[in-house]
Amino acid sequence: MSTSSTPTPANSAPVEVSAENKEKGEKLKAEANEHFKNQAYDKAIELYSAAIEIFPNPIYYANRSFAYFKTESIGYALNDASKAIELDRTYTKAYYRRAAAYMSLGKFKLALRDYEAVYKVKPNDVDAKTKYTECNKIVKRLAFEKAISVDSKSVAESINFDTMSIEDDYSGPSLENDKVTLKFMLDLMETYKAQGKLHRKYAYKILMDIKALFMTQDSLVNITVEDKAKFTVCGDIHGQFYDLMNIFKLNGLPSTENPYLFNGDFVDRGSFSVECIFTLFGFKLLYPNHFFMARGNHESAYMNQIYGFEGEVKSKYTDLMAQFFTEVYNWLPLCHCINNKVLVMHGGLFSSDTVTLEDIRTIDRNRQPPDEGLMCELLWSDPQIPNGRAPSKRGVGVHFGPDVTKAFLERNKLEYVIRSHEVKQDGYEVAHDGKCITVFSAPNYCDSVGNKGAFITMTGKDMVPHFTTYEAVEHPDVKPMKYANSIMNFLS
């Protein structure tokens, strides 16, 4: 039987691979590639993994890296790209894959290092030069923005409403005595359904008022639901305005008798994020004690720069408003506790066994999400099937098992947790012996996944979760990611 060697890290002996195994590996790779083309990424990952088991080829690792990337398992994508580079330091595609993962995590300097490595090897390659040049611009821009932000004042302080006149031909909704009313909200939603626009003066006023409101709240907000009252929890919306309208059609508009909690990731990817966020902020101002919003991992500056929200705000309004949104998002609460029984956060639980509700309540949240710690894990963590903890597939946060959930609930005298953050085919998933529930409210995510959306309802007396699922509704022909940064070209 003939054999050949596969590339190995420096100072390692070549790994002998039989011709038969090479043939099996190539067959599995070809099959995986077909599944990848059909967007069956989980099946592609399974087949690439089988190929790697019998033939650890850098190409297989790089391909699996891209499949992981497509499923938003950025941490796994990063590890696979690094493994491909370790096996073959001349394999430029692996550097591209790793750079894409770094950029998705907001680690632009590390991405630049990989683009530079390719550019040095291939200085006449147009693609290599373009990616290196554009990434270098991003790094320099961020460094400049950081340098000038040290002594810069709040955007709120620079807004002058006296200079913002309402044009005679403006026919959209108007605030009444500078306040959000139910009529304003009804007019706003109808305007948005018709693809109209809220005047910038009213938009800035809403942002000003919502920031002041969020600043009065703790990082953990307590919610009381009366015994016979209904309460609704929604997961990720991701700029899918027409699906948000469908939730209100199915479950009723927010009111003092019909309270809601929206659990983060209101924006990005979907191209109606501006419409979503002003609708949600408007209801928060209208019903401050019966409408709640928690921060998600996409309510952050670098995610908004990459996945479309910043570009959408700049297109529909101004760069100044995009900066203002960043200030507002920094004050969003991080989680909510309903009737002292159910804790709701966007991501999940923690790498420490000692976390209490008081620890969460006192988090200093007025900042961009850090790469570690309680705030990071609330926004980024995910549940896993086995007991214990594991490094996150996302490269940020932690995977936590049913034993971790059980111990956290017992320590804090809670019944279960609700989180969002992950696409689920049925719109929701009940895990960890019923103690960890995921709800995701953006159906047919990015117009491509085919999942259902869901929301949870419960009554204050028993707090038993009930699930309503729904399909995506039609929307105007505006594709997801329309406003995404040109960075996204690097990630394909």
Calculate the alpha carbon distances from 371 to 168, 176, 419, 467 in Å: 48, 42, 19, 33
Q: Hey, CA dihedral for 45, 46, 51, 54, is it positive or negative?
A: positive
Tell me what pLDDT residue 172 has. 94
Q: Whole-prediction pTM value?
A: 0.91
The answer to whether domain 1-105 and domain 172-491 are alike in fold is no
pLDDT at 484: 87
Mean pLDDT, consecutive 10-residue segments, the chain of 492 residues?
46 68 94 94 96 95 96 94 96 94 90 93 89 89 76 80 91 96 98 97 97 97 97 98 98 98 97 98 98 98 92 96 96 98 98 97 96 97 98 95 98 98 97 98 95 98 97 96 76 60
**Contact at 8 Å (CB) between 458 and 336?**
no
The phi-psi region of residue 119 (left if phi > 0; otherwise alpha if psi is between -120 and 50; otherwise beta) is: alpha
Read off the DSSP letter of residue 162.
Answer: G
Give DSSP secondary structure letters for 305-318.
HHHSHHHHHHHHS-
Residues 32-70 as b or e (16 or more Cβ within 10 Å = b): beebbeeeebebbbebbbbbbebbbbbbbbbbbbbbbbb
- In angstroms, the CA 477 to CA 223 distance is 39
Nearest-5° angle of CA 398, CA 399, CA 405? 110
Predicted confidence at residue 138, as pLDDT, reads 85
Selected catalytic residue, list 35, 298, 421, 432: 298
- 382-383 and 398-400 beta bridge pairing: parallel
Distances (CA, A) of 186 to 174, 252, 280, 391: 11, 13, 12, 45
Query: Is 298 among the catalytic positions?
Result: yes
Of 1.20.1440.230, 1.25.40.10, 3.30.2270.10, 3.40.50.2000, the CATH number of 1-105 is 1.25.40.10
Architecture of domain 106-152: Alpha Horseshoe (1.25)
Q: Where are the domains of the chain?
A: 1-105, 106-152, 172-491
Structure tokens at 214: 């969020």
**Tokens encoding 47:** 């087949």
Number of H helices, E strands in the chain: 18, 16
Choose which CATH entry (3.60.21.10, 2.30.110.10, 2.60.40.10, 3.100.10.10) describes domain 172-491: 3.60.21.10
